[in-house]
Amino acid sequence: MIAIKIIDTRKDLKYTKKCLPREIELIRKLQHDNIIKVYEVIEKSPYVCVIQDFTSRGDLLRKIRRQSKVNEKDGKMHFRQLIEAMKYLKSMEVVHRDIKCENILLDSCENVKITDFGFARSLKIGEKSKTFCGSRAYLAPEIIRAQPYDGYRSDMWSAGIVLYVMITGMMPYDDKNVQKMLERQLQHRIIYPRTAKISMDAKRLIFDILHPIPHKRLTIEEVIRSKWLAGVEYHILDQPINDSLTSDSDNII
C-alpha cells in the first residue's frame, strides 16, 4: 500500500523556498529499509505530491501513548533499527536534525521508518552546522546554546531522548522553560519515574548518549556495541501485528 502526502506550497513560503527543494533532493536518493521509501515526487504548482510507503501503525509516539510506554524487548528492536538507519544516513553524509518519536513511523510489522527530512541536509564528516532547527524537547545542549555543532552527534542526542521516552513514557527534561532544561542537561542529570522498572544497562546507555559534551557522547558504533543492545541482531520484521489500534488520546505523555 502507498500513501500520498500533499504539500500546499503556498502555506509556508519559507519552508517551500528553502527546505522543500533540499528535502525532495535528499529523499529521492535515500534507499534503506528503515527510512520511508518514496516512490515518486510530483510537482504541480501550487502542490507537491509525495508518493511513499503507507505505514499502518502510525508513528512511535502513537504506540507509546497507546501502551503508556514500550517494553525493553520491543524498545531494543526499534532502537536498533533507528540506529541502523542513522548509520546509513551518516554513510550518505546526511544529517536529519529532527529525530523524534513523531518522525519515526511503524509499518504493519512495526519496522521503524524515519520520515520528515525537512530539516535534513548534506554534511561532510567533521563539518559543523550553525542553523538552529529541530524540536525543542529533543535539542542537544550545544544547539540550544547556539554553538556550531556536529549534526551527527546532535542527532545521536535526539535518539537518546527517543530511547528515554520509549521506555519510560515520559520526557527526560521539561522543555517549558528552556533555560532550566539546559541547566539540567549540562549537569548531566537524568531522573527516572519512581515507578519505572528500567534495566541498569538501559540507564547506562541513555546516560552515555545524553552526554552534554558532544565529543564524549556515544558514537553509532559504540551504541551498537553497548550492553543493552548486546545480542540484538539487526533484521527486518516480517510478521504483521494484528492487535486493534486504540485512540491517540489514550495515555498521552
Grid coordinates belonging to 102: 513523531
The C-alpha atoms of residue 119 and residue 103 are separated, in whole angstroms, by: 12
Closest C-alpha to 251, from 165, 179, 192, 175? 165
**Radius of gyration of the CA atoms of the chain, in A:** 18
User: How many residues make up the chain in this entry?
Assistant: 253
From first CA to last CA, the distance across the chain in angstroms is 30
From 33, 59, 98, 155, active-site residue:
98
Largest CA distance in the chain: 53
- Decide if 56 contacts 108 (C-beta within 8 A): yes
Q: Residue 191, exposed/middle/buried by CB under 10 A (0-12, 13-18, 19+)?
A: exposed
| Orientation angle between helical segments 151-168 and 200-209, nearest 10 degrees | 150
Amino acid identity, position 135 = S
74 catalytic residue (yes or no): no
Q: Which residues have a catalytic role annotated? A: 98
